[in-house]
Chains A and B, each alone.
Chain A
Amino acid sequence: MTTVFNVEYAAKKIIEAFPDSVAVVVKVAVVVNSNSLYQVAEFLKDTSGFEFDYLNNLTAVDYIDYFEVVYNLNSLEHNHSLVLKTRCYDRNRPVVPSVISLWRAADYQEREIYDLMGITFEGHPNLKRLLLWEGFMGHPLRRDYL
């Protein structure tokens, strides 16, 4: 049975390593600032005790005020999981650093989010639309797309 990693503890450790990276700690997840996301992700992947080597799921939610990008992380070795989130408030040009160099699993999922939600992943080598065709207007999964 996968244990859910203690969010408070994870947040404390992350703050120790990167002082102003964590924005909020909600009940189920650690929300980090988008500009320090890459460092935090790298920290979670490589630090012993965390070792989140498996990126289960990567998705984004449009909360009107902000976009939330959700990383469901898992560690095959310790069999524990953690939800990492980041938010971007700029609706016109939301940007999040890409984690593809840490987990290649992010490849298609980041392209999909870019395609359907319109969030740009900085550092993705091949950020093209995945499901829709080039030249499609708008990003359908946004709440204001009708």
Chain B
Amino acid sequence: MAIKTEPFILNMGPQHPSTHGVFRMKVTLDGEVVVDVEPVIGYLHRGIEKLAEGRTYTQNIPFTDRLDYLASMTNNFAYVLAVEKLAGIKVPERVEYLRIIVAEMMRISSHLMAVGFFLNDLGAMMTPMLYMFREREKLLDLFDMVCGQRLTYNYMRIGGVSQDIPDDFLPALKRFVAEMPGFIDEYDQLLAENEILLVRTKGVGVLPKDLAINIAASGPVLRASGVDWDIRRDDTYSIYDRFDFDIPIGNVGDCYDRYWVRMQEMSQSIRILEQAIAQLPEGKVCADVPQLLRPPIGEVYGHIEAPKGELGFYLVSDNSISPYRFHIRPPTLINLTALKDMVIGWKVADLIITFGSMDVCLGEIDR
């Protein structure tokens, strides 16, 4: 006997433990099976793009901290690079290295959070996440040494960085770089061959290669789908061409690949850090830049490889002290375009882990 059933709508979020912020999904369910997903965003909209039009270029740096608050330093980096490109500023050698060091530290920190919370979404009861937090805590202490902040750093300036690193920073960073591969091995022991992790994530939430390109997915999400594209290498910015590193590529584009790519990228970031520390030159930490910068009339699109994907800034200057247009290309918002295609037909639990494996940050999506 066929029982008459009807789909029902489950409202997930904005308050929900695994929506990573104030994300809301209107999920249509047929029993446990997801029939339709409609993301609803905007609960954290602060109008940063509008606010930035009324402030000077330097005053806008703190806004970028509040985009992806798990990778603030990288956002600073993307913004100051775009402004420097717009104004044609050349930064000192030491600054380039310092920026790359903090950006790669930030990448490790952000990936640790991403993997940790992904495992939490899988139901691993906090344990992997707290192991990840242990290392993130060390990174935050290092950031604290650099700029006195632990979350919103506001470290970079147009033409340089706000201050030079203290003397005890490099030894501490070297110690971290030396011991971090051991910790990554420890995570692998805990997770990589875990039978339940494998059956839950392999083949789940597949993002095919052509779709990934079509929706302009970026970062680990794109690379997990098998696209060999990393802006650090393919559109080199700063001095990434001086470092030797590999770009891990997944082949299926499922949740496991996204997890795996992040784990590998951490090791690669460690490699970049090792080289950057070895090559770090002495010198000035800020170029001579006018206090009130007035870039020439023009526009620029600067993008970098943030931990979560391609973070771009589109700036238009009218030769005044504040940007005429300040647009942010949020990587995670655009990655989310494919969420619906990835989860239709899977269970609620798969919706959660697929969403978790995309590593979204609502500060960035809503701006």
Contact = CB atoms under 8 A, between A and B. Distances in A.
- Direct touch of chains A and B (CB < 8 A): yes
Interface of A: 1-2, 28, 53-57, 59, 61-62, 70, 72, 76, 79, 81, 83, 103-105, 107-109, 116, 129-133, 140-141, 145
B66 interface: no
B337 A107 contact: yes
A105 B337 contact: yes
A57 B329 contact: yes
A108 B301 CA distance: 19
A56 B303 contact: yes
B216 A54 contact: yes
B45 A109 contact: no
Interface string B130-171: 000000000000000000000000000000000000000000
Given A57-B303, A104-B338, 17 more contacts: A1-B234, A56-B310, A59-B329, A61-B316, A61-B325, A62-B325, A70-B299, A70-B314, A72-B312, A79-B235, A105-B214, A105-B334, A108-B333, A108-B336, A108-B337, A129-B42, A140-B47
B47 A2 contact: no
A104 B214 contact: yes
Nearest to B39: A108
A3 B136 CA distance: 37
In order of increasing CB-CB distance, the 10 nearest A-B pairs are A105-B216, A2-B235, A131-B42, A59-B327, A57-B329, A131-B45, A61-B325, A104-B215, A105-B215, A107-B337
B366 interface: yes
B349 interface: no
Given A56-B301, A61-B316, A107-B337, A130 B214 contact: no
A125 to B, nearest CB: 12
Nearest to B329: A57
Residue in B325, B329, B333 with the greatest tally of chain A CB atoms within 10 Å: B325
B324 interface: yes
